[in-house]
Structure 1
Amino acid sequence: MARVRLIDVAERAQVSMKTVSNVVNGYAHVQPAMRARVQAAIDELGYRPNLTARRLATGRTGMIALAMPEIDHPYFGEMASHLADIALERGYRVIIEQTLSDPEAEKAVLQDREAGLVDGVIFQPTRMATLDIARLHDDLPLVLLGEVDAPVTTDHVMIDNVAAAHDAVAHLLASGRQRVAFLGLVDGDITMTNRRRLLGYQEALVAAGVRLDPELVLHAHGFDSHDAEAAVEAAVERGLEFDAILSRDDRFAAGALTALRRRGRSVPDAVAVVGWDDSAIAGYTSPTLTSVAPDKRALATRAFDLLHERMHGHHGAGRHVVVPHAIAVRASAPAG
């Protein structure tokens, strides 16, 4: 079967080759109706851009990289899905890279591994210093996700983790809870994200006039749900009194539910539990999980929009974008 060409798509859609090229390359100024018409012709004919020819003609590959710590973490998996959908809508494909929070792997994302392969990178680092990011990304279009401090020239998209933790604790206190535990700190975790969540937890308690109890900040030995389960088991065993838990993510919250069930602590009657990320896990636990809900679609959309502008010539100071969050209320911590 002969390869479908750009001119074939133009003839099927009854538009110019320039219009087809604009759609394929994701240019924003194409009218929605015209974009839909061209996309329909692309889908019908099975057109696939020739990346080598595109790069020679435009200097672009039509591909972007998404680099994240863990692809099997529910939050990062869902973010990757959103970004892939958005990129496809705009005529781009996504290469996904897992760094496992390894400093050398993170440096490689911005150093030579992506050179010439992609037009830009969306990146959630955990260990790279600001100066390293500024030094290594050079002129590669880049947008950062997460809590890392961004260089002044780099765009950054995030939620306000302090405010989100504050809202989660306020939700628990409003339902009559008085002893809220934070689950938790992990041995060897140096990331800024969880520090900000702990800060928001503490600020909410202070604002409500609740005395801070360091014993209520639970420690785990690792990042798995089984580590969270063990941390809650240990807290119950040593007689720690608590009637609510704010978890660092939904996996930890699922581990907490298992430990509480084993110990005969009913949820939410005896202990209310709030997770974080509002991942698919939240709908599958028993009871279903109340969770801090970042607007993941908005995170992905804003990150891609900023990257697209950088890839098409935008220069200037880095833009800092904070997207909304909410508390997705379910059975594990109902409203008071």
Structure 2
Amino acid sequence: MRKVRLADVAAVAGVSMKTVSNVVHDYPHVTPEMRRKVQQAIDELGYKPNLTARRLATGKTGMIALAIPEIDHPYFSELSRYIAEEASARGYRVLVEQTLSNPAAERAVLNDREAGVVDGVIFHPVSMNSMEVARLKRDVPVVLLGESTMPVTADHVMIDNVVAAQEGVAHLLAQGRRRIAFLGVVEGDVTGSTDQRLLGYQQGLVDARMPLDPRLILSVTDFTPEESARAVREALEAGLGLDGLVCRDDRFATGALYALRTAGVRVPEDVAVVGWDDTELGRWATPTLTSIAPDKRELAATALQLLGERIDGYQGIGRHRIVSHSLIVRESAPVAAAVLSS
């Protein structure tokens, strides 16, 4: 089939090629009726703007990249949707790139692999530390996500993981839980999130003047529900007597729920469980999962706002934004759940 041209759209819409170009480039002075007419012709013909030509004409491609560690991780899947929706509302399309936390892949993101293809990048680094990020020279605007410490020169959006973990612990303590475990510390973990969530868990116990029992910090070898289930099963077999769990994410929490159920331990009566990320996994778990919920919509909107300002020419020092979070209380750790006497 012959490629649809700008002239074809103009002919079907009954307007000039200049008018079609104005609509494609989203110029504000086009009337709503004219925009509707041209868009109808574009949809009818399946016209796809030439990104190279658009870049030459405007200096922009109308595309941004989203670089995340894992596409199939429930949290990143849901966050990607919000970012795509917020980007679309701002006239951008999103190119999603998976790094698998590989250092070379992460460096490539900041070494301008996307230069000339996208106008900016939203990037969640895992393996790269603050100094590596600061040293890399880049021409494409970047906004960073995640819990790792980032340089003051970079825009960075995150939640306060330490405070959120403290709130999770406080919720369990308020329900009478006194043997609260943290699930878990991951062997070889290079993410900043686990360390911050563990710190918040410990600080929450210290705030309540509860003893810190290192045996209640459960270790796993990787980030799978299978590993979290094994860790909980071994804790039960060791007789640790835990009555609450704060989990580093919902995947760990679902593994914990499975291990507790198969061991005949009741949730929440015997052990109350708090997850993290408030993903679809937890909303449909049995029982449904109480979870610390980053405001993914606010996170996406904030990242897009900062990136848009960079694309439009902002050259100032990096902005660090803390977005809101909440504790979504469900069946696994409800308010005033019954607690068995020990």
Taking structure 1 as the reference length, the TM-score comes to 0.90
Once the two structures are overlaid, the 10-residue window that deviates more, 134-143 or 302-311, is 134-143
What SS does structure 2 have at the residue aligned with 1:169? helix
Can you list the C-alpha shifts for 1:201-254, whole angstroms capped at 9, x where unaligned?
111111111111111100011110000000000100111111010101000000
In the alignment, which residue of structure 2 is the partner of 1:210? 210
> Could you tell me whether the CA contact under 8 Å between 1:10 and 1:38 is conserved in 2?
no
Tell whether the 8 Å contact from 1:84 to 1:94 is kept in structure 2 after alignment: yes
State the distance in 1 between where 2:119 and 2:200 align.
Answer: 37
1:72 maps to what in 2?
Answer: 72
Partner of 1:110: 110
CA distance in 2, matches of 1:37, 1:296: 36
- From the superposition, tell whether residues 176 and 39 of structure 1 become closer, same or farther in structure 2 (CA, over 3 Å): farther
Alpha-carbon distance, 1:175 to partner: 1.2
Aligned-pair distance for 1:282? 1.1
Match of 2:330 in 1: 330
- Taking the TM superposition and a 5 Å limit, the aligned residue runs for 1:85-234 are 85-234=85-234
How does 1:48-59 map onto structure 2 within 5 Å? 48-59=48-59
Question: Deviation of residue 77 (structure 1)?
Answer: 0.8
1:62 lines up with 2:59 in the alignment:
no
Task: Name 1:27's counterpart in structure 2.
Answer: none
Partners of 1:150 and 1:36 lie apart in 2 by: 46
How many corresponding residue pairs? Answer: 328
Distance 1:9 1:99, change over 3 A: farther
Residues of 1 paired with 2:34 and 2:197: CA distance?
46
Does the residue aligned with 2:115 lie in a helix, a strand or coil? coil
RMSD (Å) for aligned C-alpha atoms: 2.5
Partner Cα distance (2:289, 2:88) in 1: 32
Worse-matched range after superposition: 210-219 or 57-66 = 57-66
1:316-327 to 2 correspondence within 5 Å? 316-327=316-327
The alpha-carbon distance between structure 1 residues 11 and 289, as it changes in their structure 2 partners (threshold 3 A), is farther
Task: State the alpha-carbon separation in 2 of the partners of residues 43 and 243 from structure 1.
Answer: 60
Structure 1 residues 8 and 96 mapped into 2: Cα distance closer, same or farther (>3 Å)? Answer: farther
| 1:133–1:68 distance in 2 versus 1, CA, 3 Å | same
Secondary structure of the 1:239 match is: coil
SS across alignment from 1:316: coil
Residue 195 of structure 1: SS of its match in structure 2?
A: helix
Q: List gaps (5 residues or longer) in structure 1.
A: 25-29
Q: Compute the displacement of 1:17 (Å).
A: 6.2
By how many angstroms is 1:21 displaced?
5.2
Larger Rg: 2
- Give the residue type in structure 2 aligned to 1:257: L
Structure 2 match to 1:243: 243
Runs of at least 5 residues in structure 2 that lack an aligned partner in the other structure = 337-342
Q: d(CA) in 2 for partners of 1:197 and 1:140? A: 32
Percent of aligned pairs sharing the same letter? 54
Q: Deviations over 1:95-146 (max 9, x none)?
A: 1111111111110111142122111110010111223212324232000001
Shift of 1:313: 0.4
Kindly indicate whether the alpha-carbon contact (under 8 Å) linking 1:4 and 1:45 is maintained by their aligned counterparts in 2. Answer: no
| 1:235–1:127 CA distance, 2 compared to 1 (3 A) | same
Which residue identity does 1:151 align to in structure 2? P
Q: Write the distance in 1 (CA, Å) between the matches of 2:210 and 2:34.
A: 59
249-258 or 125-134, which deviates more: 125-134
